[in-house]
Amino acid sequence: EFIDNIKKTQAEVLENYSKIVKPGGKLVYATCSVLPSENQEQIKRFLTTDIGQEFTFVKEQKVLASESGFDGFYMAQLERKK
């Protein structure tokens, strides 16, 4: 339930902030998580929404604690179509 609430909030933030990105602008979605349900799956879901269809996936990067010595992170870069 805790993770489900976080995922809901993440989806709302992604959708709301995507609306203020100008055409050709970039949007970076980042979390302090390595869970696919909070990361790749959120991006895939977003890209199927009405507003998400106005974006293209550019790239993603994962930082794993076991490899970096830092906390785990995920970042995805999207670009709003012109």
The catalytic residue among 3, 13, 30, 32 is 32
pTM: 0.90
Strand ranges of the sheet holding 26-31, from the earlier edge strand across to the other edge: 26-31, 73-80, 55-63
Determine whether 32 is an active site residue: yes
Domain residue limits at 73: 2-80
- Each residue of 18-38: pLDDT tens digit? 999 999 999 999 999 999 999
How far apart are alpha carbons 10 and 8 in whole angstroms?
5
Q: Structurally, how many domains does the chain consist of?
A: 1
CATH assignment at residue 67: 3.40.50.150
Of 29, 22, 17, the closest CA to residue 57 belongs to: 29
pLDDT digit string (tens) for 27-68? 999 999 999 999 999 999 999 999 999 999 999 999 998 888
Instruction: Answer whether 72's CB lies under 8 Å from 65's CB.
Output: yes
For residues 52 and 80, give the distance between their C-alpha atoms in angstroms, rounded to a whole number: 9
